[in-house]
A and B are shown apart, each in its own frame.
Chain A
Amino acid sequence: MKGARRAGLIVVAMLTGCGTNPANVRTLASTIQIVTSDTPNVVAADEASCRQNAALQDEYKNLENQTLAPLPCEQLATVLDSLLELNKALQAYGAALNSMAQDQFVTADTDSKTVTGSLQMLDVVSAPVVAAVGSLFSLVETAALQGYRQHELVKAMTGQPAAAFKTVTAAYVRLGDQYAGALERQQSNITLISNAIVHDYSRTEPVSTAEMSVRLAALHDDVANRAAAIKDFVAAVAKVDPAFDAAAQDLTTPSPKEVYEAVKAFAAQVTDAHDKLKKAFGVP
């Protein structure tokens, strides 16, 4: 029963056609894996930034005897934990997609050579028959494996899975926006606090004020570097949906050049953002 079902699958796979190169799916899947590997670092940095901002505000409150609206670091931590769960799911999806799109199982040429080699060695059929058997075997194997692979990839990248994928990636875009905005506001807070300290203490405590200004300027620069890296991450993640659509479309109606360009550009942008993130956040 199982064998018959499998034989059926092979036939279906052959009928659905073959010859589509899933290289774009592999590139897309690898890029998804880069984004999902970066996300825990972004999440950790986001939480750390909130705590750093809160510590600075505590200093300000003590110095100036002020009360401020509280920073929602606890709420942020809770949301980020949920986001990491989404990340795990997307990571597994990217890995499975990548594995399914691999070429390593399609070894038609080598296998057909083994078949023809066996026949030639035994010298029981004529050369044209040997060649015909080899070609037929190669055709069956290629059609079965490539066709089946294409069939399964189309299923995983269209309809409900595609919509779910986009809903999850929308959360990544939102994470990037939230973190980029938080860093922007943190810079604004640093400027406000620095100016307030200069305004209130530069005459009475010039040395301490100067020291604090230097410390805050360095912190401002660090936050600005992180903000720039995060903006690149946001820009790259925003392109994941078009790249996904392009790679999925290539499985059903191949348009190699356009798809290749779109997926390649997306991969390059993600790799660039990944390098900048590593530099800005000191990740080895």
Chain B
Amino acid sequence: MAVIDPSPSREELESLAAVFKQAEASLEKYLSTEEGQKDANFTKLTSAAISLNNAADGIAIMQLHLAVEQGAEALEVINQTTADLQHAIIVRNEITRDLGIVQSVVAFGAAIAAGDIKSVISSGSDLYNKLTSG
């Protein structure tokens, strides 16, 4: 017994949309001809063409729905990557701070070696500030 798949694939939806588009275009073309203008069913055919367009809109929305659903599955990875990047930015700022400490240590060490009290105090307080900040 044949089984009907109630959820069409992206390709099936694309084929269906193409059929609707082609039928609507043919109908619209026919209605613009002299023969079409005289057709006793002109208004009904016009309504049918609009309905075909509306059905095609429905298919396009189903296709969008499928793509968004797949996107939602990828959302967790994107959010995790963003969180990792944000953490990495914090770490980078810490590295910058650590390098600033190295810079202050060099200055402090040099000041001690030179025996310059003023420089020892100024570079020492700079080092202290860097060590205690953040």
Contact = CB atoms under 8 A, between A and B. Distances in A.
Contact of A72 (B44, B46, B57, B91): B57
A196 B46 contact: yes
Contacts of A85: 72, 75
A250 interface: no
B78 interface: yes
B26 interface: no
Contacts of A160: 77, 81
Interface in A82-107: 82-83, 85-86, 89-90, 92-93, 96-97, 99-100, 105
Contact of B123 (A83, A118, A168, A196): A118
B117 to A, nearest CB: 12
B64 A164 contact: no
Contact of A148 (B67, B95, B103): B95
Interface in B54-89: 54-58, 60-61, 63-75, 77-79, 81-82, 84-86, 88-89
Contact of A189 (B50, B73, B92): B50
Interface string B32-66: 10000100001110110111111111101101111
A168 B68 CA distance: 7
A198 B99 CA distance: 78
A249 B107 CA distance: 41
B68 A115 contact: no
A137 B106 contact: yes
A268 interface: no
Contacts of B65: 75, 79
Contacts of B32: 195
A216 to B, nearest CB: 13
A200 B43 contact: yes
Chain B at the A interface: mostly helix, strand, loop or mixed? helix
A89 B71 CA distance: 10
Contacts of B60: 177-178, 181-182
Interface string B4-17: 00000000000001
A280 interface: no
Contact of B114 (A70, A96, A124, A149): A124
Interface stretch (A139-147, A205-213, A219-227, A256-264): A139-147
A90 B78 contact: yes
A96 B82 contact: yes
Contacts of B81: 93, 155-156, 160-161, 164
A105 B93 contact: yes
B112 to A, nearest CB: 9
A173 B8 CA distance: 20
A281 interface: no
A96 B84 CA distance: 9
A145 B77 CA distance: 25
Given A145-B92, A148-B91, A171 B47 contact: no
A122 B107 CA distance: 9
B107 A118 contact: yes
A82 B70 CA distance: 11
Contacts of A90: 78
6 contacts: A66-B46, A68-B54, A118-B106, A124-B110, A145-B95, A178-B63
Interface of A: 3, 6, 9-10, 50, 57, 60, 64, 66-72, 75-76, 79, 82-83, 85-86, 89-90, 92-93, 96-97, 99-100, 105, 111, 114-115, 118-119, 121-125, 133, 137, 140-141, 144-145, 148-149, 152, 155-156, 160-161, 163-165, 167-168, 170-171, 173-175, 177-178, 181-182, 185, 188-189, 191-193, 195-196, 199-200
Given A9-B91, A69-B55, A140-B102, 10 more contacts: A64-B47, A79-B65, A86-B71, A93-B81, A97-B85, A100-B89, A115-B106, A174-B63, A174-B67, A178-B60
